[in-house]
Structure 1
Amino acid sequence: MRVYLPATFTMLSGLKETGEMYARSGYGFALTQALRDFYDHGDDEEIAHAAFQDAAEASIRLLAIGDENTFPHRRVVVSVDLPDEQVDPDPELGDSVVKLRPARISVDQLAAIHIDIEESEAATAKAIEVIDESDLGVEDAELIVGDALDNFMAFYDPTELPFLIELM
């Protein structure tokens, strides 16, 4: 099953160094049956994009913690392919939310890496400041977070991980 994990650049560095990464709090996002049921139309790829967007928004929450020093205003989403038995849907937390058991992923499970481009940093910085208000339903904050989510995230092949860490 393809799972989208919110991450930070520091987490990517750890993945490169150790060959493994832990999903923060043990959760990720995926194309679940609950997510399929939510949408009236669309193919799996279109619906899976909603799970990806949930991971991108969760990356903003990770950046809001403030422990990312290298790129504090760039979202990161790591796409991984996991065995179905490692992934448990948790629709009570959200239609795309999945619990990983175990929460550890290895570099050989990487399917793709997505990172905000430099031009997106200003919008992501604004979203970081208002993510809590957005979660509480404050409309202006939701619009700011939505603007950040609309920004392009660059795609990198898993084989590019070492070069990303060295060259960025």
Structure 2
Amino acid sequence: MRVYIPATLPVLSELSKRGELGPGPLTGYAVTPALREWYTEGDEEELEYAAMTEAARGALRLLAADPLAPRRRVVVAADLFDAVVTPVGTPVSREQGVEPGQVRIDGLVPLRDIASFHVDDAIAEPTVAEAALVVRAADDGDEDAQFAVDGAEDYDLLWFATQELPDLL
């Protein structure tokens, strides 16, 4: 199963040193039955994009918790065995702070299971910084805060292969 894991550049630095993410449980996002039910019209590519977008918002939450991290969202795409991934979202759980595609990852995520990294371009940093300051308010329904978060989501994440990790850092 392809899982999108929110991260930050310091998390990637730690991954580079240790060769793995974790230990779990980790929060990730994937194309789950609940996400399929919530996006009734979406094809597979649109569903993958929705899961990655939720992971990017999760990265904003991580940035909000780490004021020293560079203000760039990071999403790690990993191919994991279904046995270590447990869906926690439901089609109606969004109102309770759980996204339909949210999953729990039990255990470690070794570098060999990572398919790619998705990272903001440096040009997005001011907008991402603003969004990180207000993401919790956006989660609570603040429309002005949501506008700032939407601004960050207007930036596409850049794709990096796993062998580019040293250059990315």
**TM-score of the pair, normalised by structure 1:** 0.91
Distance 1:139 1:24, change over 3 A: farther
Residue of structure 1 in register with 2:131 after alignment: 127
- 1:83 is matched with 81
The aligned residue for residue 59 of structure 1 is 59
Q: Deviations over 1:53-111 (max 9, x none)?
A: 00000100100112544x2x100000000011111101253210101122x10100111
Task: Figure out how many residues of one structure are paired with residues of the other and give that number.
Answer: 162
Whether contact under 8 Å (1:77, 1:115) holds in the other structure is: yes
Taking only aligned residues, the RMSD between alpha carbons, in angstroms, comes to: 1.4
1:95 lines up with 2:100 in the alignment:
yes
Distance between the aligned counterparts of 2:157 and 2:46, measured in 1?
16
* 1:138 and 2:136 matched: no
- Asked if structure 1 preserves the Cα contact closer than 8 Å seen for 2:24 and 2:105, the reply is no
Letter in 2 for 1:7: A
Tell me if the contact between 2:28 and 2:103 (Cα under 8 Å) persists in the aligned partners.
yes
Q: Which runs of 5+ in 2 are unaligned?
A: none
Paired residue for 2:47? 47
* Percent of matched pairs sharing the same residue: 38
Structure 1 residue aligned with 2:117: 113
Deviations 1:14-34 (A, max 9, x none): 111110112775211000010
SS in 2 for 1:80: strand
Find the aligned partners of 1:118 and 1:10 in 2 and give their Cα distance.
15
Q: 2:12 aligned with 1:7, yes or no? A: no
Native 8 Å contact 2:16 2:166 kept in 1: yes
Name the CA distance, whole Å, in 2 between partners of 1:146 and 1:25.
28
Amino acid at match of 1:119: I
**C-alpha deviation, 1:140, in angstroms:** 0.8
Give the secondary-structure state (helix, strand or coil) at the position aligned to 2:159.
strand
Aligned letter for 2:36? R
Q: Report if aligned partners of 1:5, 1:23 keep a CA contact under 8 Å in 2.
A: no
Q: Is the 8 A contact 1:22 1:105 kept in 2?
A: yes
